[in-house]
Amino acid sequence: MLDDTIAAIATPLGEGGLAVIRISGPQALAVADRCFVPLGKFALKPSDAPTHTIHYGRIMWQGRKVDEVMVAVMRAPRTLTREDVVEITCHGGLLAAKLVLDTVLQNGTRLAEPGEFTRRAFLSGRIDLAQAEAVTDLIHARTELALTAANEQLAGKLSQRINLLRDEMIKTLAHVEAHIDFPDEDIAPNTKEQLVARLERGVLFMEELLRTSHEGQILRRGIRAAIVGRPNAGKSSLLNQLLGHDRAIVSAIPGTTRDTIEETANVRGLPVVFVDTAGLREAGDAIEVEGIRRSREALARAEFILHVLDAAEPLTEADEVYLAEFTGKKRILVRNKMDLPARLALPAGNADPVVEVCCLTGKGMESLKDAIKELVWAGEIRAEMLQVMINSRHQDALNRARVATERTVGALRANETLELVAMDLRIAVNAVGEIVGKTTTEDLLDSIFSQFCIGK
């Protein structure tokens, strides 16, 4: 398949000023020659053009003009894929981009598979697997912190540390295998201690990386927060204040929200998916029954709760029931309507954070955002932390590597057969290598790159 020349629309579908069609492969320049007519006094066809130059002209098909375009010519190896690459910038819109792509496909290319451009960049050695994953993180970043973390990984900061770890483990494996080849020579005690110390340093480093997995997941996919409470406590008003615009219908009529509403907001640099739920109470009709059922599902999936209470009313029996029901969840108690005389008294011994707000005026919202950030991410968000935010795949590989390395240390200390020591250490080396793609399988690559869009 690497001999194929591939093409795809690299910009989002829909109406817009411009669209880009990307071509990559051994026939990229020849395909561009067949469908592009350069215009101007010094016009050059793509195959005659110097690398990294842009040219004005028309895309033509069977003597008919398809669109006026700009064509960028980039010759191997100074390209994303290390192949010849041509990028055609045409007018935006579904039809214009589709017609240009169809013309390119009819002139000797095939449609790229999801993530195939980035996959070729990995297979050519242009980037490693961790950097390839950072591309999709970059595209899906919803906050500046997430964008920074993706850029750090794309720049190779995580890969550098993983490669150092793997190199140290390979040195130890080489030492052990050398003694397997010469069975008459035992490993000297001081040498064995040096090998064990090197492996233990590796375990500590893996544990340090594993501690970033939770924060890395938050930055990549966000964290879900369910807004719950009795009807008319101000849940929808709270959602609107946190988003900074009116998303949910607000009404004095209890039970206005009949379904769950999901929106993502940037809270102190963290992407938080807020889920406004139907008010919890005995349902009055079939629609409200379904709304409350969905609210329960949202609660089950949420990582923490914003429990909204009406500070202008005494604590009701229903409030007490729901406070007791959600005791096992991370939560913040939000006392709304602080602009009115306070009549709400929380149960004695409450240990949950309490924030007072007025959803009508927005007062207290900054304090609530601080409380949310402290609940889901304790401590300061430092720049060096963003360099090594691992994802769930990295976490799985590091856990396997850590367990195998600990077994290796135990086997060395117990003077077990060196063949067993080497076997566990190879497992650890291969697991670490999976992170950057030094050891990988077609199934793993298919799984990773299938999550990319077609033009990436």
Residues 342 and 404 in one domain: no
* Position 179 in a domain: yes
* Position 345 in a domain: yes
- ∠ CA 145-147-148, nearest 5°, is 65
Residues 332 and 400 in one domain: no
What is the pLDDT at residue 183?
Answer: 64
What is the pLDDT at residue 259?
Answer: 52
Domains contained in the chain, number:
3
* Position 141 in a domain: yes
Residues 186 and 251 in one domain: no
Residues 145 and 178 in one domain: yes
Closest alpha carbon to 38 in 68, 83, 13: 68
Structure tokens at 78: 């100074």
* Position 384 in a domain: no
* Position 192 in a domain: yes
For the domain that residue 320 is a member of, what is the CATH number? Answer: 3.40.50.300
Q: What is the domain range of residue 22?
A: 6-112
Cβ within 8 Å of residue 299, ≥6 positions away: 226, 228, 277, 305, 326, 329
- Which phi and psi angles does 184 have, rounded to 5°? -75, -15
For the domain that residue 423 is a member of, what is the CATH number? Answer: 1.20.120.430
For the domain that residue 20 is a member of, what is the CATH number? Answer: 3.30.1360.120
Cβ within 8 Å of residue 183, ≥6 positions away: none
What is the pLDDT at residue 157?
Answer: 92
Residues 202 and 238 in one domain: no
Q: Could you say which of 53, 78, 112 is where a domain stops? A: 112
* Position 217 in a domain: no
432 with 169: CB under 8 angstroms? yes
* Position 284 in a domain: yes
Q: How high is the mean pLDDT in each 10-residue block of the chain (456 residues)?
A: 90 89 97 95 92 96 93 96 96 92 95 94 94 90 88 92 94 87 70 90 94 84 86 84 68 47 86 77 54 70 88 85 82 91 83 90 92 82 74 94 95 88 94 92 85 84
Residues 418 and 371 in one domain: no
Residues 166 and 304 in one domain: no
20 with 2: CB under 8 angstroms? no
What is the pLDDT at residue 258?
Answer: 42
Give the span between the Cα atoms of 276 and 240, in whole angstroms. 10
Residues 234 and 310 in one domain: yes
* Position 119 in a domain: no
- Helices assigned H by DSSP within 16-78: 28-35
Give the span between the Cα atoms of 360 and 293, in whole angstroms. 28
Element holding 99 (H helix, E strand): helix 94-105
Residues 44 and 160 in one domain: no
Closest alpha carbon to 149 in 221, 95, 73: 221
